[in-house]
A and B are shown apart, each in its own frame.
Chain A
Amino acid sequence: MSYAQPHPRQSILSNSSYSSAEHLSPTASSTRFSLPAAPSIHSTLASTPRPASNRVVPNIYDRNLSKARAAEVSASAYAFLFSEIVQYTQKRVSGINDFERRLNTIGYRVGSRVLEILFWRNESTSKAPKREIRLLPVLLMIQTQVWKAVFGKPADGLEKSSSNVDEYMVIDNEPLFERHISVPKDFSQLSCSSFTAGIVEAFLDGLNFPARVTAHHTPNAQFPSKVTILIKLEKSVLERDELQK
């Protein structure tokens, strides 16, 4: 075969990204994309020891779990990560219902961890740790503590449905996840906050309040991205809560 071997410096770039680099204006391509004669990644890892840096970034596993205040993350990183989650999901679904269900499933995995860490932070230091068994305190906890842990601010409202006794609504006027998202017209029914709904569902499930949680886009003039998280509790939950009165 007469194919030339790829130049070793090119091998870490995929073909597509290299060809797009050729379209760049010369300034950008010469400064950005032509790789200097630096040692390749493998030799750096294998032979040369890393330069000793004074700046020690603690590994996420080494950080103290209870320090909630200092552990802030960049909102941009959060937005990019969520954007990738949505793109990943979009490639694997056929319709909007499927889309929302998948986002809900991913959120569920986050929610079960949120539940774990919240109780660890709140109850591990208290002398009489307790578990919430009544419905209303649990819902209030979602509105304040879960929202604060995940979004850094409490939710804007908690309402009880007037028509159905088993329905509650958590309202977020400016959901953090959707701050930079513009949903195209052909997806107009889609609410990316299904992810948030998944978090809530996992939280309720973990406390043994099984419910079906969905997200609905309910814009108004003042808050164009307002979202209502609808919690539809199972019958058994309401019956049990009635007995505990």
Chain B
Amino acid sequence: MAIFSLWIINKAGGLVYNRNFAEGLAQLTSNEQLVLAGTLHGIHAITSRLSPNGSSSGANVIEGESFKMTIHLTVTGTKFVLLTSLQETIAEHILQRIYEAYSDAVMKNPFHTPEMPIRSEGFDSRVTAIIGSGQT
């Protein structure tokens, strides 16, 4: 069980926060990560329209052979994405707590501009506390 990395994608599809926790995935340059985040944003928009009846939440989990990607979409359109190993079961719970930390340490911080990259020590330490305790 391992948590590889956390992405936060703003409502326009830009990657505003990216942090790696464990080795295990291919190393990507920051440019590649931006492209992937934008692609995921597009895929999510497509999946949310595929439902045959009514509205859909879009993709929640994407699984590969060696990793699992859990997506949490907030009501404001911000996406929290957690890349974990396949066995990880508490990814959704962790995302919920990260959303909580985001609301506190990012949105209530007067020095943060909405939709811009997150540079907040308070948020960094809250994330460290959550992921650190979530890892077994």
Contact = CB atoms under 8 A, between A and B. Distances in A.
A26 B110 CA distance: 30
B62 interface: no
A23 B11 contact: yes
A27 B58 contact: yes
Nearest to A180: B108
Nearest to A183: B111
Q: Which of A31, A84, A86, A184 has the most chain B CB within a 10 Å cutoff? A: A184
A181 B77 contact: no
Contact of A184 (B41, B73, B119): B119
B24 interface: no
A83 B120 CA distance: 14
Q: Which of B44, B73, B110, B115 has the most chain A CB within a 10 Å cutoff? A: B110
Q: Secondary structure at chain A's binding surface: helix, strand, loop or mixed?
A: helix
A31 B75 CA distance: 9
B75 A28 contact: yes
B122 A182 contact: yes
A83 B109 contact: yes
Is the interface on chain B under 10, 10 to 19, 20 to 34, or 35 or more residues? 20 to 34
A121 interface: no
A25 interface: yes
A218 interface: no
A180 B109 contact: yes
A68 B103 CA distance: 29
Contact of A80 (B57, B73, B77, B108): B108
A159 B35 CA distance: 55
A153 interface: no
Contacts of B76: 28, 32
6 contacts: A25-B58, A26-B49, A28-B73, A85-B110, A182-B105, A182-B123
